[in-house]
Amino acid sequence: MTSSLIHTLDDIVKDGDPVISVAPVQLSAPDRPVPLEVRISAPVAGANLPVVLFSHGNGWNLDGYAPLTTFWASRGFVVIQPTHLDSRRNGFGFDDPVFPTIWTERIEDLTRILDQIDTIESAVPGLAGRIDRSRVAATGHSWGAQTAQSLLGARIFDDAGQVGESMSDSRITAGILFAATGIGGDDLHPFAQANFPFMRPSFRELATPTLVIAGDRDQSKMSSRGPDWFTDAYTHSPGATDLLSFYGAEHALGGIVGYEVAETTDENPERVAVIQRMSTAYLRTALHVDETSWPAARAAFENDASPIGRSDSK
């Protein structure tokens, strides 16, 4: 049963600590159309805390995804969430002159955060001197996963079919992609072809250790491909060596955006609980907190008597 799996995973990722969360914190972004604001969440205790950047899906903001971000913070990570330009709070629609550059601004938002860790550290009471800047992961959901994967090494094909420049950041050493859109081409619907140049990724250059999490009922309106589209990063990338595919999961993966939000069409608190713990175990191992966490969690997931999904690795 899933409850048994959750209990086993709790033994692996350990009990959580209280979390302090501060928002909005404004960072320097002189050329940005609106100020860059972030939420910073961290455990109240602990030292040498790794950093996790989280990029939200289309339309969201720094207040979303608490089921993931608060859980990670309680398990020993400093989690930083920007509000990107596409947030509904900013009001930049498809016809706004700003929109065509939002995908690159999203990537720049994450690099701006890394450039201003001093500001972030000083914004949270009691956090000074507790961040380990050598251990950083980039994570994201949907459009946020595309943002994260660019910093992990994925590139974009241009109109001529040539692979574009690298936007990777050597400060990032691990990643998790939640419902990451796949490769482009003729399978993309015309609207996506016209408006979303970032939906032409090349995963061959993504060499950073990465976990891909997808749902086997996630049918995108942007592509005629089936749910396997959201596993392309795993299929085509040398760095994405691990894949979790959840049975019955749609784009919100059971509710990682938040409990009882409109976008969640497949609400499943047990699935979210498993994703919380599996992603934490991966981060603990990928960021060298505990080398045994991910192998133990993956074994528990694979051996559960009532599987909630499947695990693949390469």
Determine contact, residues 160/124, Cβ cutoff 8 Å. Answer: no
Confidence (pLDDT) at 290 = 97
Going by pLDDT thresholds of 50, 70 and 90, the confidence category of residue 260 is: confident
Q: For the chain, which residues make up each domain, given as ranges?
A: 2-313
> What CATH code would you report for 2-313?
3.40.50.1820
pLDDT band at 224 (very low <50, low <70, confident <90, very high): very high
Q: Using alpha carbons, select from 145, 144, 220 the residue that is nearest to residue 189.
A: 220
Give the model's pLDDT for residue 168: 97
Q: Do 126 and 44 touch, CB atoms closer than 8 A?
A: yes
Residue 263 has what pLDDT? 87
How much is the pLDDT for 262? 87
pLDDT tens for each residue of 95-114: 899 999 999 999 999 999 99
Q: Summarize the confidence of residues 248-274 as an average pLDDT.
A: 94
pTM confidence score: 0.97
Residues 158/162/163/167 CA torsion (nearest 10 deg): -50
pLDDT at 2: 79
The token duo for 254 is 């059971």
pLDDT at residue number 122: 97
Reported as a pLDDT band with limits 50, 70 and 90, residue 154 is very high
* pLDDT, average across residues 177-183: 97
Q: What's the pLDDT tens digit per position in 262-289?
A: 889 999 999 999 999 999 999 999 999 9
Cα separation of 159 and 91, whole Å? 28
Q: How far apart are CA 205 and CA 162, in angstroms?
A: 13
Q: Which residue spans within the chain are E strands per DSSP?
A: 19-27, 36-43, 49-55, 78-82, 131-141, 155-156, 174-178, 201-202, 210-215, 240-246, 309-313
Q: How confident is the model at residue 197 (pLDDT cuts 50, 70, 90)?
A: confident
Say if CB 53 and CB 137 are below 8 A apart: yes
| 1 has a pLDDT exceeding 70 | no
For 46-70, the pLDDT digits (tens) are 999 999 999 999 999 999 999 999 9
CA distance 309 to 271: 9
